[in-house]
Structure formats: C-alpha cells, structure tokens
Structure 1
Amino acid sequence: MEPKEIAKRSAGNFLIFAGCAFILWILAASIDWVAQVLRLSSPERLPALATSIVNSSTLQAIVAIWLLTAAFAIAFPKMLTPLSATTALMFDVGYGILGALAGFGIAIGLFGGGWSILLRAVIYSAIIAIGFIAVRMWLSREDLSADGQRRWTIAGVIALASPFVLLWG
C-alpha cells in the first residue's frame, strides 16, 4: 500500500472518529445536564469523566505498539508483507482512536474541561506521521531488503523508544 493511500485513509478515519466523538460528548453533556436537573447526577460527573479520559494511557499504548511493530517490520523485512495488512489495520484503528480522542478533546475544551487531551492526541498524531515519513525517507525498499547496519540501527532505536513511550509518554 502506498504512503499516500495510507495517509488519506488514516486522515479520513481520524476526522470521522473526531466528529462522532465530538457529537457523542455533546449528547452526553446534554443528558448529564438533564440528569443534574432531575438530581440523578452531580456537577462533578462530566469533569470526572474528562479527567479519566485525559489520564488514560490509551494514547501511550497505541504509540508504543506502533513503534514496536515498526521496529519489527524494519528489522525483519521478510515479515513486512504479512505485516502490511496488520500495519494498515493498526493505522486505521489507531488514527480512528486518536481522532476520537481529539473529538472528545475539542468538546471537553469547549466546555471548560481543558485542552490537554486534544493537545496529546494532536501531538501523538503528528509524531506518528512525521516518524512514518522519516523512516520512509531514511530506508528505501533496497535498504529494507539488504542486511545493512542502518536498518538494524533504526529498528533498535525505535524498539528501545517503545517502552519509554508506554511508561512515560
């Protein structure tokens, strides 16, 4: 699959999930407001939910898994063909999740819950896109098929970065 096709599909997934998440948050806020009027909910319910979303390690896990899978595909290029469907699926699902978190982040920010979740989703999305482009620029198809030190070095750096992102991202 071509990088432009992956980028288009990933961007589409990101935007669709962002829009749906934004609408979902607005609907949840409306229902919570009615529940507060009926004394079935407290004013802290929605801010507590926003806090739990922001503190979630989902973003870190997605990026860490992407990094380790990329390192594996670079280190063992013969696995790249079987991994191509998995990699495309990871991009689709991953950017969908990042889009959903961005949509939640926009809605949470608009309702005074802070912008940190949107900022994290956008930063991680940009880092993944830049990393994908950088690896494509540094490693040609020939580099992947050759057993060179450059391929192993890049794979090693990416593999070592993945647990750090998971723990402290």
Structure 2
Amino acid sequence: RATVIILKCQTFFTLPLSLPQFFEMLSRFLAEGAASGLNIFALYVTDILRVTGVDVHLPFPHFTAEGVASAGQWALLALIGYWVLSIILRLLVGVVRRVFWMLKAGTALWLFGLIVSDAKAGSDTTAVRLASLVLGWALLGLAGSGSEKTVQVEDRMSILEGRVKAVERRKGEE
C-alpha cells in the first residue's frame, strides 16, 4: 500500500497536468486515503464493540473511494448552496430593510406635511402631533436596529470569551 501511495505521489508531482486533471487526481488521492482511514476506524470500532460484548454488523461491507468522493461532492455542493443562499438572503434582507426605511421616511414626511399644513390646529396641538411623530420615528428606529446590535454584541462576547479561554490556557501551561 505504501509503494502505491509513493508511486502516486511521484506521478502527482512530476507530470505537468491541467487544472481539472490536477483536481481530479487530488480528489481521487484524498478519497482513497479517506476511505482507507474510515475502513480502519470502522474496523477498530467494531472490534472494540465486539470485545465489550456488543455484536455489531455494519450495514455496508466497507468504505470505497467512490463513495467517499460522492459524499464529499454532495457535501461540497451543500456548502456552496448554503453559501450562495446566505448571500442571497442577506441581500434580500438588506433590500427589504431599505424599502421599509424608505416607507417609514415617506410616511413620516407625509404626516409632517399634514401636521404643519393644518391651519385649524393650534400651536399646542401641532407641537403634540410633532412630538408624537418624532416619538413614533424613534420607536420604529429602535425596533428595526435592535436585532443588528444584539448580533454585534453577541459576536463581541464570543470573541472576548475566546480570548479569556486562551489566557486561561496560557496560565495553565505556565
């Protein structure tokens, strides 16, 4: 087995390959290594379970390089899909936020125009209406930005927790 790997490594590094050939050979090499490792791991686990008295029969005979490569390709496809979907959703959320902000601003300007142009209302009534408009604007602003600030605070907390753990590990090593 070791000579096969050495020969593949020598072939891998000596031949000038195109990029698709390189990735195909790399994925085949990694899939064979992962399949061998998984087979050894499954063998150890079944032996350990058999020694402890649990009779285990694996539903599959052994891991193959093609199966590992197929699972890896599906995992890569799922990862790329997740990445693309998260980008699209972030863009959509950003656009929806902007649209709602524009609706809020347009409504506030329209209400401001109605409040100021009402000639029948007294100055006290106009002041109360404007104060209500400003209060409503502020409350809508707080409601919309609260989730962003919470996420930012949580991110900062996780960074600080990681730093504290690193300092504790360093103190434990000394």
Q: Same fold (TM over 0.5)?
A: no
Largest Rg, 1 or 2: 2
Higher relative contact order (CA 8 A, sep 6+): 1
TM-score w.r.t. the length of structure 2 is: 0.31
**Structure 1 length as normaliser, TM-score?**
0.32
